Amino acid sequence: MQASKAAGAGWKQGLAGLAMVLLTAAVYWPGLSGPFLFDDFPALVSNARVHVVAGDWPGLWRAATSFDPGGTGRQLAMASFGLNHMLGGLEPWGWKLGGLLVHLLNALLVYVLCLRLLALAGVQQWLRLSAFAVALLWAVHPLQVSTVLYVVQRMETLCLTFTLLALLAYLRARSAQIAGGRGWPWLLGCALCFVLALGAKESALLLPLYTLALELSLLGFAGNTVGQRRFWRWGYAAGSALGVLLFVTVIVPHYGSLETITGRDFNTVERVLSQLRILPMHLGQMLLPLPASMTFYYDDFIASTTLLQPWTTLAGGLLLAGLLALAWWLRRRAPLTALGIFWFFAAHAITSSVVPLELVFEHRNYFALLGVLLVLADIVRRIPVRDGPGIKIAGVAAAIVLFGLLAMVRSATWGDRLLLATEFVATNPQSPRAAHELGVLYYEMADGSANSPFFSLAVNTFEREAGLPKASILAEQSLILMHAGQGLPVEPRWWSGLHRRLQEQPVTPQTTAALFGLLGNRVNKGVELDDRALDQAFMLMFERVSMPPNSYFDVAMHALDYSHDEPLARSLLMQAVSTSAEYPHYVPVMAGVLREKGRDDLAEWIVVKSRE
């Protein structure tokens, strides 16, 4: 009898899993035909080490160690990208399919995790249906589209795969211990999954916070003996104290700065204050995922400078503090709600801290969304109804259908490059990145013809981008290149605008890439540019940031060969020599290039200078 019940339960779970996969795949399938985006290009498309060819299995190791900076992190994710290239080259469809497959696996793991959590919370009736509903809502929520279909964010989704496995192993271990059994084999499994998660992304470091939240709520530091209970309480107390100590004495001094962070337009205090507005914004996106609220690009976001600049900073801080206080108060009264709130905050513990990341990205909510859904599930199950659970089931089903349709529409938008680019601009007209992406697309559609109407559209779009408050030099760089490349007049105001931004704005990797893009087009493609204006641009940048020796040398050679400004070239060569202490092999390389160009005098000069 028990065997037949177990078999029946297994069939039901299998059917639930199949339904989960099919429904989720149907939502995201229209988006697989979309393009690479933003960070996909430097991390994957332009990263030759990821471009593993068929049969080159050792090349997967090169791909695994190709993450910059340093090539020492995210090996599993990078290896998966190498496998993508091995199987299908740079066709985005296969890369996006790989991301979807990871998400489907995660949806199944979330379903199993919800089964465990709801059972621990005392849910007996409609347990499987409730877990299925929460997991499906998590899987098809419109906010997830920009994580699942954004190829490079497989780092985040693959990390969560192993994090979910670690959480399941942890729950199994603790349940075994509480029941008087052996939990240590499962704890070893949890540790192994943690290491694998770290191989995908550093977000795995949040696992101890997730397990602490479990202990504070559903598990209650329980054990089969007094010794076990004491071990878990004191162990987490000591671990928390150590974590706070490391944060205060290592992380904050290392990353914290009252000066503007290099490559950003905010300092550490402003970054943390801004999160008091950003986290409530994410809560709104989760609860009411309207298309206009999910803009993907948030580069126009203005950082908070004080609690009252703007006033919503203080309001958001009070809301977040109230939620944390509520979670602490409910940890025994409504542990599932408390767990959901704790998990939401824990999921943002790195990206909302002093670490100098960009202010806003939607993919940071990939796991945090589950916390909010657990809170909603607990609220729904506690709502009293007079005529049975039918009205609750209907309401949840309606929410799933609505969210699924919104996600499918967003996914279909992501599946069409022109539609997606115009949507980005429509939902966030103040975003320079959105404007630039649309301008680049129009230029590509012009197919090299200045007479094409798309060429004019590209010019107008880049001009509009240049007028946005937080625009970078990319707008002027694009206008200069597209006109010079067609032999058309380049307006002096584009060069002056580029120079002004180099003086006033933070120098970011995007800035250096844009400038060296101009240099590459001049030197390698023969595009006629104003060489003096180009030299001036580089000198403005070099005044503000230190670069490796090859950067100074490349500009020095331009000054020699194109601007014919030997004093400037000598000054830049001197900078190249002075910054080559960490690259001792580079001075002979520079000398060799100069000799090939017949400048033995300069070659000998830099060798002598390097020895001084």
- The C-alpha atoms of residue 151 and residue 414 are separated, in whole angstroms, by 12
Tokens of 462: 């880049």
Helices (H) and strands (E) in the chain, counts: 28, 0
DSSP state of 309: B
The confidence band for 377, taking pLDDT boundaries of 50, 70 and 90, is: very high
Last residue of a domain, one of 524, 541, 558: 541
- The C-alpha atoms of residue 584 and residue 368 are separated, in whole angstroms, by 47
- pLDDT score of 93: 96
Co-location of 322 and 381 in the same domain: yes
- The C-alpha atoms of residue 334 and residue 256 are separated, in whole angstroms, by 37
Tokens of 118: 């709801």
Instruction: Report the candidate in 184, 165, 354 with the shortest Cα–Cα distance to residue 264.
Output: 354
pTM over 0.75: yes
- pLDDT score of 70: 55
- pLDDT score of 14: 84
Domain that residue 207 falls in = 10-224+256-413
- pLDDT score of 71: 57
Name beta bridge partners: 306: 309
- pLDDT score of 4: 57
Co-location of 266 and 367 in the same domain: yes
Co-location of 434 and 560 in the same domain: no
List C-alpha distances in Å: 490 to 385, 471, 481, 529, 533: 71, 19, 9, 9, 12
Q: Are 323 and 276 in contact (CB under 8 A)?
A: no
Residue 460 has pLDDT above 70, yes or no: yes
Mean pLDDT of 241-247: 95
Last residue of a domain, one of 519, 541, 563: 541
Residue 483 located in a structural domain: yes
Co-location of 533 and 551 in the same domain: no
Co-location of 321 and 409 in the same domain: yes
Instruction: Report the candidate in 4, 44, 64 with the shortest Cα–Cα distance to residue 152.
Output: 44
Residue 386 located in a structural domain: yes
Q: Assess whether the previous peptide bond of 69 is cis (omega < 30° from 0).
A: yes
Owner of token pair 């060296």 = 516
- The C-alpha atoms of residue 442 and residue 418 are separated, in whole angstroms, by 9
Tokens of 523: 């030197």
When the pLDDT of each residue in the chain is averaged and rounded to a whole number, the result is 93
Residue 105 has pLDDT above 90, yes or no: yes
Residue 419 located in a structural domain: no
Mean pLDDT of 568-582: 91
Residue 233 located in a structural domain: no
Residue 58 has pLDDT above 90, yes or no: no
Mean pLDDT of 537-564: 94
- pLDDT score of 5: 57
* Per-residue pLDDT tens digits for 154-213: 999 999 999 999 999 999 999 999 999 999 999 999 999 999 999 999 999 999 999 999
* Per-residue pLDDT tens digits for 410-454: 999 999 999 999 999 999 999 999 999 999 999 999 998 999 999
Mean pLDDT of 63-92: 87
Co-location of 380 and 496 in the same domain: no
Co-location of 354 and 489 in the same domain: no
List C-alpha distances in Å: 193 to 82, 449, 584: 22, 54, 42
- The C-alpha atoms of residue 309 and residue 303 are separated, in whole angstroms, by 9
Mean pLDDT of 570-577: 93
Q: Are 606 and 572 in contact (CB under 8 A)?
A: no
Residue 552 located in a structural domain: yes
- The C-alpha atoms of residue 400 and residue 249 are separated, in whole angstroms, by 46
Residue 408 located in a structural domain: yes
- pLDDT score of 339: 98
Residue 424 located in a structural domain: no
* Per-residue pLDDT tens digits for 157-173: 999 999 999 999 999 99
Residue 152 has pLDDT above 90, yes or no: yes
Q: List phi, psi (to 5°) of 557.
A: -65, -35
224: three-class secondary structure by DSSP: coil
- pLDDT score of 92: 95
- pLDDT score of 610: 85
Number of domains in the chain: 3
Residue 118 located in a structural domain: yes
